[in-house]
Amino acid sequence: MKQHDNDLPDRLGCLLPSFPVSEQHKSAMETFRRVIREDIAPMAAENDRQGRYPRQSIAALKAADFLRVPVPVAHGGLGFSQALSQHLMFELGRADPAVAQIYKVHDDLTRELLDVGSERFCAALVKAVCEDRAIIGAAIAENGRSVDQFGQVTAAPDGEGGYVLNGRKIYATGAAGADLILVASFDLGQQAMRLDLVPAGTPGMTIGQDWDRLGQRATDSGSVTFENLRTHPNWSALAPGRMPPVHGSLRYQNGFSMILLGIGAGALNAANDFVVTTSRPWPSAQVERASDDLLVRRLFGEIGADLAAACALGRNAAELLDAFERAEVSRTDVAMSVYAARSSATRSALRATSDLMSVLGARVTDARVGFDRYWRDARTLSLHDPVEWKHEEIGRHLLTGWEPPPGLYQ
């Protein structure tokens, strides 16, 4: 099986039409696709086996100026729309879902920080990302009684404009190899949440290499512990009077959908190669090649159609994120599209990564083939926030007109 094959759009043809790219961004996209094809995809299986931060792959993203994508052109970035950025997440997801998730964190956080930071902070952030090629990781999630309960990492003023952080984060995607880590903490004095960027190597911060999960192994999203860590006033991320954008959580959710779709597409492509080069036809089919088996063709066609439909939903939701920023649609319009995309992406990705195995033959379970990583990655990502609640929320809107209020998962 050719793990790094990246020609799926050509095989699906009109089922997955090419994403429109403006002349302004065409050259950059060509470079990024070459890097994904030549530098990222060939390392994916090994990254998964090692289960550690994919430093070589991230270095390739940095060298190609990938990290400038979410920064506006006026500030020295490439100024990609949210829709185009999320299409990149899809393409990265096909190549290496762990790299895709690490990049997603950087893209999402860069956009959000430029919305909430002071002018001075934003200038420093832009310099770090565009000139120093800094990648941003996250240390947000805590082990509260509910997933949205915070307060286990506390912040107390140090008397010099900074804060002293203490506590532990349980998941920290991208932090293991990040240059700057966004840390959410609870300000004991103000009784409010605060956000700080913490440079890698800051005394008092310990990156725990304790990520041992079913999938997304190379994200190395383990714990981070803070013991009397002092933040710098210049890296205080949340300016007075500013709040995260109300559609930020919807952007995060749709990014996961795009990565899931990339995983499904990558699995379909790898399965196609396996059938053509390795699978043996079942005797009852009475054909010479497995690819001539009508049952094999039917399953590939059905799964391909499901993925194509899910991709259309994901892309539409991504475009609505940009439309919302132009005040052309309501937040509820975006939310319902994002929820529908998440539902369809989850089901189609899980089916592509598991059901296809039924027609590939027992040989596909060989560890050297590595097909299991597609299912492990899709299954792990799909659990980030329960898709059944997306169904309930869509149904609540359809039946009652309910409009989801801004929240961490709504």
Token pair listed for 268: 């379909």
Q: Report whether 220 contacts 381 (CB < 8 A).
A: no
Token pair listed for 343: 């539902």
Token pair listed for 86: 């999320």
Q: Quick one: which of 185, 136, 132, 129 has its CA closest to 162?
A: 185
Q: What is the pLDDT of residue 146?
A: 80
The percentage of the chain sitting over the pLDDT mark of 90, rounded to a whole number, equals 86
Residue 5, pLDDT above cutoff 50: no
Q: What is the pLDDT of residue 14?
A: 64
Query: Rounded to an integer, what distance in angstroms lies between the CA atom of residue 343 and that of residue 257?
Result: 8
Q: Report whether 247 contacts 131 (CB < 8 A).
A: no
From the CB of residue 255, how many other CB atoms can be counted at a distance below 10 Å?
A: 28
Q: Look up tokens 């190549």; give the residue.
A: 95
Q: Look up tokens 């039409």; give the residue.
A: 17
Q: Look up tokens 């009397």; give the residue.
A: 228
Q: Quick one: which of 43, 78, 44 has its CA closest to 64?
A: 78
Q: Report whether 29 contacts 298 (CB < 8 A).
A: no
Q: Quick one: which of 250, 293, 251 has its CA closest to 275?
A: 293
> Which amino acid is located at 251 in the chain?
R
What is the tens place of the pLDDT at every residue in 342-395?
Answer: 999 999 999 999 999 999 999 999 988 889 999 999 999 999 888 999 999 999
What is the tens place of the pLDDT at every residue in 263-285?
Answer: 999 999 999 999 999 999 999 99
Q: Which residues partner with 136 through β-bridges? A: 180
Token pair listed for 41: 């995809």
> Which amino acid is located at 176 in the chain?
A
